[in-house]
Amino acid sequence: MAAQRGAGGTWLREILRRQRRHEARRDSLAAGHVRSPRLAEGTRKTPKTPKTPKKLANLTDPSSPAASSANAPSELVPHLSQDPFTSVLPSLSNFTLHALESLKFKYMAPVQKMVIPLLLSSKDVVVEAPTGSGKTVAFLVPAFELLARSSDTLDKTDIGSLIIAPTRELALQIESLSAVFSSHCSFPSHSFVGGSNETNNMRRFKELGGNVLIATPGRFIETISKKNLTGKGTSGIDALRSLQLLVLDEADRLLHMGFEQQLTRIFSLIPKQRSFTASDRTGLFSATMTSSLTELVRVGMRNPCRVAVTVKGKEGQALTTPVELSHYYMEVAPRQRLNQLIHLLITLKEKKAGKIIIFFLTCWAVDYFARILPKLKTCQGLHFVGLHGKLDQKKRSKAVEELRNSKEAILLCTDVAARGLDFDDISWVIQFDPPQDPDFFVHRVGRAGRMGRRGKSVIFLAPSEIDYIQMVESRNMKLEEIPCSADARDVLQEIRSLVREDRDLMRRGQRTFVSIGHGMSLGLLQLPYMRELLQAGATAKRRMLLLPGFEPEEIDLDSIAFKDAKREKERQEQLKNEEDERDKQAKKRRAARNAQSWSKKLDKMERRQKKKARKERVLTVPQVREEELSDDEIEQMRKEYALLKKMKKGKLPVNQLDQELDESANSL
């Protein structure tokens, strides 16, 4: 078994050693050594490789402002082109350049170099570029530039650029970057996202305006249809009459999340003449292009330019994730999965690896682990943050902020955080459960290794899931095995004691068990007989019952109390009421029985006896189809049946039955 292979920490030391080597190489580049960029601009132009040592020397001069800024020149960060934003023609406005300067962005990333001129010259674009390659700036710069270049004078509540994003977190993240541009010009940014207070939001929009509007689809449609949105007494939809640019970020996710209807509605809200003028554009951005996007392109775009930015691997093959991102897998039995996870987290903490993201399959799983992990003795000193789609917006935003502000937090999340979220210093992405949709592998791991930084990902696979590797590798990603550690402590008993102390935890664990179907790793006390399980259907139940390594514990689940005294009191009251009700019903049944007349009771007894006799007949007469038997066999059966009847009536002693049966068989 994989769990026995390899001593703990050896592979990790190797990985960390490689990382140090990479960093040392990067430092040597800073000292002026040549390295060619790996990021190729797929369909259009090949990147200019730095050739002249002189130019290199200038760019890497540690005393130059570029070298000292976070936006290191392209020799140091191979994801940036050689072209600064100042090279865009016609030139970008001063405010845009100032905003980029304040962000310390001097050189364009390849996707920016290709997309900005296209959008500025009235082209629709469909953009596919790897995770963390700089797509946001590629559409935000045109979003502001187009407004500055337009001959229309915009009122503050006229929406000139509209950016639709699939999740609230992503929309808010784009808004915060957009706000940097707004602070350098007179075009305000605003967001309409689900979960926020709509009335307050509309008031702020009316007061401060939102020429660049970032929104999630549902909330956008809800708000834009409001009559008093702009305070001008007309329909909010009028705010779209000067729309210059529509961007669908993570476009394939928008479709995947079932937003088709909303997107069609958004297209229909946009002024009709827009599709015939030369001054409007649509941009679709994603790290993965799926076939479902084709329909969207057909409905909403006119002859779009397709831009594909690809990463070249060592052998020149196109990669879907950055080269700096290394992928690993661990073959681990479900029962050991949590033990190995905790061991990995502790080892990474000791090595000061930094921030980590762990992906789980369901909201229940995130909720359960975010509660139970901090309580484990082995996890003391680890800082866990939970994020999933069922949390209210306040908690979701708080979780994102907590991760941003911490140096070594561990985010436990569902795929709500798989797309677009940009935390610049995630060192490891751990996939506790493989994603249901294989496309999400790319997006999940893409939270690390962004814009030239090193990152690592590991996916936990049960032996039965090992074929997943082939599927990932068919997408040009190489997965290396890291062995399980023999040093991992078993936390099952500790979890069981915690669960035993708090009914709330037990119930959350049960729901998690049902939601992801491999409960042994969760420390459940016994296979719960519960409604959810019954509803889960036969296949799911079978899957759970067949789990290898599951050791149920004999325990009365009703005896586990809530820690919260109020809830426990309510539960006890409910239990008491249920018991009283049961007693009442039993009493009622007894009374009804006693009240029956003797004749009725006799009838009932007779019916019962008849039923019993019928049952016995069924048991004693073999139920076979005559046509399947020969005449001799039927004769034999008749004889045997007659002997059995004789024995039953007491006319044939039991010890003679065998003899008689043998004789009857031989006589045939």
Ligand X SMILES: Nc1ncnc2c1ncn2[C@@H]1O[C@H](COP(=O)(O)OP(=O)(O)OP(=O)(O)O)[C@@H](O)[C@H]1O
Q: Which residues bind ligand X (CB under 6 A)?
A: 71, 80, 105, 107-109, 112, 129, 131-137, 287, 420, 422, 424, 446, 450-451
Give whole-number Cα distances, 424 to 356, 404, 470, in Å: 11, 9, 29
CB of 114 to ligand X, least distance (A): 13
Look up tokens 């062995």; give the residue: 483
Please state the closest distance from residue 231 (CB atom) to ligand X, in A: 33
104 in helix, strand or coil? Answer: coil
* Nearest distance, CB of residue 571 and ligand X, angstroms: 45
Place of tokens 């926020």: 196
* Short-list 283, 251, 289, CA closest to 140: 283
Whole-number minimum distance, CB 421 to ligand X, in Å?
A: 7
Question: What contacts 506, CB < 8 A, 6 or more positions away?
Answer: 499, 500, 524, 525, 557, 560
For the sheet with 409-413, list strands across it.
383-387, 409-413, 355-359, 426-431, 455-461, 325-331, 479-481
Query: How many Å apart are CA 229 and CA 507, to the nearest integer?
Result: 44
Q: How far is the CB of 107 from ligand X (least distance, A)?
A: 6
Distance from the first to the final alpha carbon of the chain: 59
Q: Min. distance of Cβ 133 from ligand X in angstroms?
A: 4
What three-state secondary structure class fits 13?
A: helix
| Beta-carbon contacts of residue 575 (< 8 Å; ≥ 6 apart) | 558
For ligand X, give the closer residue by CB, 123 or 453.
453
Strand ordering across the sheet containing 39-40: 39-40, 310-312, 318-319
For ligand X, give the closer residue by CB, 136 or 340: 136
Closer Cβ to ligand X, 140 or 522, answer by number? 140
Closest to ligand X by CB, 84 or 304? 84
Q: What are phi and psi of 439, to 5 degrees?
A: -60, -30
Give least dist CB 305 to ligand X, A: 18
Helical pair 503-516 and 492-501, crossing angle rounded to 10 deg: 130
- 135 versus 327: smaller Cβ distance to ligand X: 135
Q: Three-state SS for 252?
A: helix
Rank residues 87 and 585 by Cβ distance to ligand X and give the closer one. Answer: 87
Q: Write phi, then psi, for 396 (nearest 5 degrees).
A: -65, -45
Residue closer to ligand X by CB (options 446, 483) is 446
406 and 379 Cβ atoms separated by less than 8 Å? no
- Number of Cβ within 10 Å of residue 160's Cβ equals 23
* CB 449 to ligand X: min, Å: 10
- Minimum CB distance to ligand X smaller for 181 or for 513: 181
CA distance 539 to 250: 34
CB of 132 to ligand X, least distance (A): 4
Question: What angle do helix axes 492-501 and 334-350 make, rounded to 10 degrees?
Answer: 100
Q: Looking at beta carbons only, is 283 or 509 nearer to ligand X?
A: 283
- Residues 11-50: b if buried by 16+ CB within 10 A, e if exposed: bbeebbeebeeeeeebeebbeeeebebbbbbbeeeebeeb
Nearer to ligand X, 405 or 599 (CB): 405
Q: How far is the CB of 248 from ligand X (least distance, A)?
A: 13
- Give the nearer residue to ligand X in terms of CB position, either 107 or 329: 107
CB of 34 to ligand X, least distance (A): 21
CB of 84 to ligand X, least distance (A): 9
Please identify, using beta-carbon distances, which residue of 137 and 185 lies nearer to ligand X: 137
Decide: 559 and 344 in contact? Cβ < 8 Å: no
From residue 393, alpha-carbon distances to 256, 387, 388, 389, 397 in Å are 22, 10, 10, 9, 6
> Helix, strand, or coil here: 282?
strand
